[in-house]
């Protein structure tokens, strides 16, 4: 799969998980495991990119003696998720065409 296309799906999946409520890295990886298995080393650059884009807010707290970052989705992130979902919907006819599901 094209790297840019996959990147967009990864961002959308992370935003979708966080649209259900605040979470932290390891939990996000677990939440995505059945749909899109990724490692924490793949996830953290995505989280940093989304935070830099204003899609996420981050808070840190101590959990079992260690600092844990919790990520929450912002209004910008919710809008980006909605835009991604709309964009994916526009791709469905193309995927169907490419897989032989639609004739011309």
What class, spelled out in words, does domain 3-98 have in CATH? mainly alpha
Q: Indicate the helix (H) or strand (E) that contains 71.
A: strand 66-73
Residues 94-103 have pLDDT tens digits of 888 999 875 5
Q: What is the mean pLDDT of residues 28-38?
A: 93
Higher-pLDDT residue of 35 and 104 is 35
Percentage with pLDDT > 70 across the chain: 92
Residues 52-81 have pLDDT tens digits of 999 999 999 998 999 999 999 999 999 999
Q: Where are the domains of the chain?
A: 3-98
Q: What is the mean pLDDT of residues 72-95?
A: 91
Specify whether the CB–CB gap between 77 and 4 falls below 8 A.
no
Give alpha helix (H) positions in 1-104.
3-19, 25-32, 40-52, 75-98
Q: Is the pTM of this model over 0.75?
A: yes
């Amino acid at each position: 799969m094209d790297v840019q296309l996959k990147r967009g799906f990864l961002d959308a999946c992370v935003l979708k998980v966080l649209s259900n409520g605040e979470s932290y890295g390891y939990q996000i990886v677990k939440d995505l495991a059945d749909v899109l298995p990724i490692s924490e080393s793949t996830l953290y650059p995505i989280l940093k990119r989304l935070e830099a884009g204003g899609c996420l807010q981050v808070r840190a707290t101590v959990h079992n003696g260690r600092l844990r970052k919790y990520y929450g989705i912002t209004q910008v992130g919710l809008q980006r998720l909605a835009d991604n979902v709309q964009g994916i919907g526009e791709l469905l006819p193309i995927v169907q065409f490419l897989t032989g599901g639609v004739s011309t």
